[in-house]
Amino acid sequence: MAGRYGRPRSVLRMRTVAGQVFLLQVAIVVLLVAAAIAALVLQSRTDSEREARNRSVAVAETFASSPGIEQALKSPHPTAVLQPRAEAARIGSGVDFVVVMNTRGIRYTHPLANRIGKKFVGNLAPALAGGIVTEKITGTIGPLIQAVVPVTDRHSGKVVGLVSAGITISKVSGVVNGQFPLLFGAAGAVLLLTTGGTALVSRRVRRQTHGLGPAEMTRMYEHHDAVLHAVREGVLIVSGSGRVLLANDEARRLLGLPADVEGRQAAALGLGPDIAALLSSGRQASDEVHPVGDRLLAVNQRSTDQAGGPPGSVITLRDTTELQALIGTADIARGRLKLLYEAGTEIGTTLDVVRTCEELAEFAAHRFADIVTVDLAGAVLRGEEPTPSGTGPEMRRTAVSGRDAENTALYPVGKVVRFHPGTSLGEGLVNGEPVLEPELAALSGWQRQDPERAQRLLDHGIHSMIAVPLRARGVILGVAMFWRAQEPESFDEEDLSLAEELVARAAVSVDNARRYTREHAMAVTLQRSLLPRGLPEQNAVEAAYRYLPAQAGLGGVGGVGGDWFDIIPLPGARVALVVGDVVGHGLHAAATMGRLRTAVHNFANLDLPPDELLWHLDELVTRIDQDEAADAADGTAAITGATCLYALYDPASGRCTIARAGHCQPLLLRPDGTAEFAEVPGGPPLGLGGMPFETWELTLPEDSRLVLYTDGLVEDRDRDIDAGMAELARTLAGNPGRTPEETCEAALRTLLPERPTDDIALLVARTRVLDAAHVADWDVPADPSAVAEVRAAAVRTLVEWDLADAAFTAELILSELVTNAIRYASGPIHVRLIRDRSLICEVSDHSSTSPHLRQAATTDEGGRGLFLIAQLAERWGTRYTGDGKVIWTEQPLVEEVVGEQGAPLLSPPVA
């Protein structure tokens, strides 16, 4: 066909758009076919390797865990036993080899007998460490995957041998070659269909583009786009008959043209006579200035019939009236930008809602208005999430700043302001729209909020006001109000725009502070719920505690950390004292602390000794670390890290047993006032594992004080831990008459840093010793007839203790426990009664078998004793000792001697 300028064009030469579209579609189809073939080959290869790896690992693990492998490896002739089994496993599983070797890599089995006794080729180190290793190698039988797994001793867990299985990749390869004919056939069919469709499309495109090439069409588009959009000038195209063919947006704006201007006569557009005459004449014009309304336009006009084009003219319009105005507004814009920049540096310097509002008021009163007030919704001040429409027109005045602001009639700070919904300000708050009152004296309705105050404001000279809602994330937080009194100029639209920008930036800071307040309150609430609410009732020690969080902003969320303490009453009038520290601050540390505190409670209720309890706690922290490492996105996680000190005190004997895991040594204050650190063997911090914990035991005199603390008390940036511990000992020594509360106060008064960077937990316990008159014990011979003697002795003791009402129940409990001990236990049997806050009955023997409560059938002759005990006693349980066990029960006392604070006394008061 003929080209635009008479040059012949051919689709086959692929110079037209249609031809290039055809060529592009064909290339895309070919590329898709090639990509499909490559993807099929790669997928087949990947699947083959994965299947070979899974099969080799499965065969090796199955053979390594099969019965008799461990014994065969330890036998004098392992090959004689293992070779037949390995070959049977190889043939049955379809792998190419199953090799058993010792820990040095010497083969015991191989499909080729001459390879037996030689060293295995491959990486054995991970398997010798207890892992599984797979490798892709090229052997004499071709590329293969081999896996090596360990054979471990069932008792010690030590690796005693290795098993390797391998299979060539070719055995598990897919049938991809058979799919090539089908793929090529489908590709050919698609190519034919595409060719036909493209030919039809090419004909249509060729007609629509008039045979133009891509470069010509691109050039035409670029010219058109540059004229209409890139140039900031008005453009008109007028035909030779005087009709408007095209008008861009700028031309419509400058000339005030209607929307349907295309097709209308230029002379009928209602333009000024000068510009209308120019458009109708079609003459050439260059930068002629013509007035149009209140504008001065520079007009250029050129004919379009040059070089054989259609008749008509192109007119360009440029507004020159704005040049002078822009020079003046540039300085104003520069000043606004500087003001907003300075606002960003001076507003929102803290995460405190009230302080942020004060910074906004102070900044704006100094730079923009005479007086500024900021009101916030109550929910925002509390850190709560505001509703999408705010809290209604009711706000609380949060900040006021400005010259002589306190002497005006404006509401003071703290006043609850309810904006009248009938005023423009009330409506603006509900709708989230700013309000501009340039002349307050006009009384346009704003005075209905409070007519008396409105008149007083006018009398004070306040004459203009802007109110802008503080909006962030689509919700209204409050409102900022700007007032002018001394400055005579009223607020205008430019000032309103600047106020909106200023308040928008401040609203983000207020919302950030609100969210921080909410998150901080949630974190503190979480931690407080995880810490003890108060001291439990017990008579073993008199205790006092202090918990002081780190300062906000130092190491995470201020007020939230991982330090904790606990006092846990235990059976037999004993008590456990616990102090611990989880590394770090924030919700993670608090949550970890809660888990550890719960675990300590559970382990303590099992009556575990301190060293064994810390061992179980160490295992728990190790599992926590492993879980967090598995969940971490980058495959790594920081060690949780925690320290703990666990002390067990028995007031019956005065015996104290302590173990610690990486924690500070406790301070012991003796009754005479001397202070010394208990030499408790130091174990590793929790989570490191592999090291045992040791205990420290000592019989403490009555009125001894144990001081347990975390490192935040004795260590800070300016003092190392050794100096802090020495200072603690000097501070608390020499004052034997101090109560635990006074001891806590003295320690904090001396050692508390001005701005603590770490949490501080302090627990002081003054020991008590049970009155010997409130403890009775008997040795019971292994004779059923001794049960009656024990019952009688117990009843006499209870009568002496004025607990005759509890004698019948205690008699039944002791009878059942002693009878069971004589019948089923071994060794010496010992009975002990303790009068504490409850009546405690203990029966000990040398048997480690614990009784279990069960539901006896109606036909059973026995099995109801423990059920009876469970019904009669308030609590009961079993604890193990070094030479047996103790079964204990607790009964509530019918009559108690009450002390000054409502707690039962350890001994009757002296008359």
Kindly report, residue by residue over 469-517, the tens digit of the pLDDT. Answer: 988 888 888 899 998 888 888 888 888 888 889 999 898 998 898 888 8
pLDDT score, position 699:
93
Whether residues 111 and 150 share a domain: the answer is yes
Of 159, 157, 133, 162, residue with least CA distance to 146? 133
Query: What counts of helices (H) and strands (E) characterise the chain?
Result: 22, 31
Domain-located, residue 661: yes
pLDDT at 389 over 60: no
Band of pLDDT at residue 202, cut at 50, 70 and 90:
low
Whether residues 410 and 297 share a domain: the answer is no
pLDDT score, position 659:
95
Domain-located, residue 82: yes
pLDDT score, position 744:
94
Residue 410 identity (one-letter amino acid): L
Is the pLDDT higher at 404 or at 788? 788
Whether residues 611 and 758 share a domain: the answer is yes
User: Any idea what the CATH number is for the domain that residue 826 is in?
Assistant: 3.30.565.10
Cα dihedral 805→809→810→812 (10° resolution): 140
Whether residues 762 and 787 share a domain: the answer is no
Of 373-377, 396-400, 547-551, 641-645, the least confident: 547-551
pLDDT score, position 173:
65
- pTM listed for this prediction: 0.53
Band of pLDDT at residue 36, cut at 50, 70 and 90:
confident
Residue 20's alpha-carbon distances to 9, 25, 48, 211, 234, in angstroms, are: 13, 9, 42, 12, 37
Band of pLDDT at residue 749, cut at 50, 70 and 90:
very high
Q: Per-residue pLDDT tens for 753-782?
A: 877 778 889 999 999 998 888 899 999 888
Which residues does 710 contact at the CB level (< 8 Å), separation at least 6?
563, 579, 580, 581, 643, 663, 664, 758, 759, 760, 761, 762
Distance of alpha carbon 398 from alpha carbon 498, whole angstroms: 22
Q: Which helix (H) or strand (E) holds 81?
A: helix 78-93
Cβ–Cβ < 8 Å for 813, 841: yes
Whether residues 550 and 697 share a domain: the answer is yes
Q: Please report where in the chains the tokens 């083969």 appear, as a residue.
A: 107
Instruction: Please identify, among 734, 751, 767, the residue that sits at the C-terminal boundary of a domain.
Output: 767
Distance of alpha carbon 395 from alpha carbon 656, whole angstroms: 59
Cβ–Cβ < 8 Å for 668, 675: yes
Is the pLDDT higher at 756 or at 357? 357
Domain-located, residue 357: yes
Share of the chain above pLDDT 70, in %: 86
Of 351-355, 426-430, 590-594, 681-685, the least confident: 426-430
Domain residues for 401? Answer: 347-437+465-490+501-522
Cβ–Cβ < 8 Å for 282, 238: yes
Instruction: Please identify, among 767, 782, 811, the residue that sits at the C-terminal boundary of a domain.
Output: 767
User: Any idea what the CATH number is for the domain that residue 593 is in?
Assistant: 3.60.40.10
Domain-located, residue 544: yes
pLDDT at 819 over 50: yes
Distance of alpha carbon 492 from alpha carbon 488, whole angstroms: 12
Domain-located, residue 13: no
pLDDT at 328 over 80: no
Burial 600-638 (b: 16+ CB within 10 A, else e): beebbeebbbbbebbbebbebbbebbeebeeeeeeeebe
User: Any idea what the CATH number is for the domain that residue 510 is in?
Assistant: 3.30.450.40
Whether residues 757 and 632 share a domain: the answer is yes
User: Any idea what the CATH number is for the domain that residue 141 is in?
Assistant: 3.30.450.20
**Which residues on adjacent β-strands are paired with residue 552?**
none
pLDDT at 189 over 80: no
Exposure on the CB side of residue 863, measured as CA atoms within 13 A:
8
pLDDT score, position 554:
38
Q: What is the mean pLDDT of residues 38-58?
A: 79
pLDDT score, position 863:
55
Band of pLDDT at residue 832, cut at 50, 70 and 90:
very high
Share of the chain above pLDDT 90, in %: 17
Whether residues 794 and 739 share a domain: the answer is no
Q: How many structural domains is the chain composed of?
A: 5
Whether residues 722 and 866 share a domain: the answer is no
Mean pLDDT score across all residues of the chain:
81
CA 380, chain centre distance (Å): 23
Burial 656-687 (b: 16+ CB within 10 A, else e): bbbbbbbbbbbbbbeeeeebeebebeebbbbb
Of 473, 510, 485, 470, residue with least CA distance to 359? 510
The DSSP bridge pattern shows strands 416-418 and 561-569 to be unpaired
Band of pLDDT at residue 3, cut at 50, 70 and 90:
very low
pLDDT at 8 over 60: no
Distance of alpha carbon 203 from alpha carbon 221, whole angstroms: 22
Cβ–Cβ < 8 Å for 16, 212: yes
Distance of alpha carbon 266 from alpha carbon 261, whole angstroms: 9
Distance of alpha carbon 774 from alpha carbon 770, whole angstroms: 7
Here the tokens at position 634 are 């980058």
Q: Which of 286-295, 401-410, 538-547 has the highest mean pLDDT?
A: 538-547
Domain-located, residue 31: no
Instruction: Please identify, among 141, 168, 195, the residue that sits at the C-terminal boundary of a domain.
Output: 168
Whether residues 417 and 305 share a domain: the answer is no
Whether residues 312 and 282 share a domain: the answer is yes
Distance of alpha carbon 578 from alpha carbon 584, whole angstroms: 19
Q: How many CB atoms lie within 10 A of CB 285?
A: 18
- What size, in residues, is the chain? 911
pLDDT score, position 677:
94
Whether residues 645 and 684 share a domain: the answer is yes
What is the torsional sign of CA 220, 225, 230, 235? positive
pLDDT at 893 over 50: yes
Is the pLDDT higher at 222 or at 114? 114
pLDDT score, position 906:
38
Whether residues 367 and 292 share a domain: the answer is no
Q: Per-residue pLDDT tens for 86-119?
A: 888 888 888 888 899 998 889 889 888 888 888 8
Domain-located, residue 217: no
Q: What is the mean pLDDT of residues 368-387?
A: 85
Domain-located, residue 908: no
pLDDT at 741 over 60: yes
CA 674, chain centre distance (Å): 47
Is the pLDDT higher at 270 or at 463? 463
Residue 83 identity (one-letter amino acid): Q
Distance of alpha carbon 639 from alpha carbon 583, whole angstroms: 9
Cβ–Cβ < 8 Å for 695, 670: no
pLDDT score, position 230:
60
pLDDT at 607 over 50: yes
pLDDT score, position 907:
37
